[in-house]
Amino acid sequence: MPLDVPTYSFALPDGVDPPALVSFLVERFDVVAEPPTSLTFTVVDTADRRLRAAGADVSLHPGRPGATLVLREHPGAAALSADAGRHRRWRVDDLPPGPLRDRVATIIEVRALLPLARVRAEVQPLRVRNDDLKTVVRLRLATHAALDTGADPAPLTPRLEVAGVLGYPKPLARVVAVLTTEAGLVDAPATMADEAIAASGGDPEGIRTRVRVALRPDQRTDRAALVVLRDLAGMVEANVPGTLADLDTEFLHDLRVAVRRSRSVLRELAGAFPAGPLKQQRDALRWIQGVTGPTRDLDVQLLEWDHLLAGVPADRHAALAPVRALLERHRAAALRALKRELRGPAYREAWTSYRAFLDGDLGKARDRPDAKRPIVEVAGRRVRKVYGRMLAMGAAIDDASPPGDLHELRKRGKELRYLLELFGGLWPAEVVKPMVRSLKGLQDVLGTHQDREVQADHLRELADELATQVGGPEALLVLGVLIDQLDAEQHAARARFAERFAAFASDEQRKLVARTFGA
């Protein structure tokens, strides 16, 4: 359908069934009913619903010789399609080259497309004709049912799509007016995909990566902290299945971020918790962070492989194939070890204990000095303290400082960023957002500096093993180019440090922190 043809989508409210609507239209217009069709398809999106957020949807349609993925960006837009192949999920590299892959890649990035809900649709095409028997409006009346509900198919809201025909704007306007004013059709409160996912037991918004809890400035610190920690725990649990299934690398990444944020809350708001149980749970979360680290480090190395290759002459890319293969083998071994840990008794016991800690009785408040204090006071105090510590650490860094000093500053920066992300809603957004922005600029430089050092060290460690591989000696010669590139990027990041730190530590920023997060 051409992009410049107006298209409307309506939901049939309760009390208006599809046959009655057809009869209603026949009474008012010259309506021709086309042969009805029945089809089954699968709603496809990333786990965090990136296509939904971009206003697009992808569906999987079975057929012969194979299934087809279909992308639609908005009603009336021309659909893009591609062969789905035989996959349980689709990363960008799993999609065949073409317009659909190119468009999807800009939206989903490193995530994978996953089947989220199976739907059966009964579709009745209709045409409205004028006095010359020319089609002036096209309609598509559809009833849907979600199939994967664990019980009988769940009926979804019936929908009607109305599309104009070029050169006939007035008949379209009349049909739309009749449907809205006389038939009572309304805009759907949710998309068909959202309804199908919800009916199938899923969350239409997908797996969340941000905490969504309502905090009051005067709320007790222990209660505010527990609300945030429980939300983060839910994120960890939501990402474990995708990590175990290795659906895409973001499941593990988001799991680790949720654990890291949880550790930060326990550390920064320690005075709200009993000391003994607090130490036990912090140790448990640190262990989880440790066992998930090796796989994530290799994920990052592989995700940035194309970037690394860009600095190597094209005629030498093939020589590095043994390096890539070795990284993939190491990653597969690390993933197997991670799966054993996440499925093993140590993780199960640690997580059960942590959940009991979050849901249990923390004990008498007099043993927890910050428990009853307002969260805005305690979190504000921690923001000021961590910010002040970063100022001192950053000011002490010069050209002779070891890389470890920048790494320590980066870790303190994460503490500050988590405080602002998790509790920033307690203060004016016009203060918090610019502060987060300047902090992010500093963290980007520090992160690149640390990542490049870790990646270069890891590649150096491959040398002995690589020498024994087929093509290894030639790969070793080119590997030096990769390591030199990583070293150069680390040095470039360090050169940008002073500028980014100056913005973060400006007099204006210091005064703003003191004024906003003061007692």
Tens-digit pLDDT profile for residues 429-474: 988 998 999 999 999 999 999 999 999 999 999 999 998 888 888 9
- Reported as a pLDDT band with limits 50, 70 and 90, residue 366 is confident
Determine the residue type at 411: K
Hey, which CATH number is domain 7-199, 3.60.15.10, 2.40.50.140, 2.40.320.10, 3.90.550.10? 2.40.320.10
Residue ranges of the chain that CATH labels 2.40.320.10: 7-199
DSSP letters for 279-327 = HHHHHHHHHHHHHHHHHHHHHHHHHTHHHHHTTS-GGGTGGGHHHHHHH
| CATH number of this structure's domain 221-516 | 1.40.20.10
Average per-residue pLDDT in the chain? 93
Looking at the chain, the whole-number percentage of residues with pLDDT higher than 90 is: 84
Give tens-digit pLDDT for 155-193.
999 999 999 999 999 999 999 999 999 998 988 778 999
DSSP letters for 83-98 = E--S-SSB-GGGSPSS
Bridge partner residues of 90 (DSSP): 113
Report the 10 Å Cβ neighbour count for 118. 18
Single out the residue of 243, 292, 265, 234 nearest to residue 422, CA to CA.
265
Paired tokens of 94: 């799993």
Q: In angstroms, rounded to a whole number, what is the distance separating the alpha carbons of residues 434 and 440?
A: 10
Give tens-digit pLDDT for 227-285.
999 999 999 999 999 999 999 999 999 999 999 999 999 999 999 999 999 999 999 99
Q: Which pLDDT does position 254 carry in this prediction? A: 98
Single out the residue of 318, 231, 220, 347 nearest to residue 273, CA to CA.
220
Residue ranges of the chain that CATH labels 1.40.20.10: 221-516
List all residues 6 or more positions away from 251 whose beta carbon is below 8 Å from its beta carbon: 47, 239, 240, 241, 242, 243
Answer yes or no: are the C-beta atoms of 496 and 505 closer than 8 Å.
no
**Residue 475: what are its φ and ψ, rounded to 5°?**
-65, -35
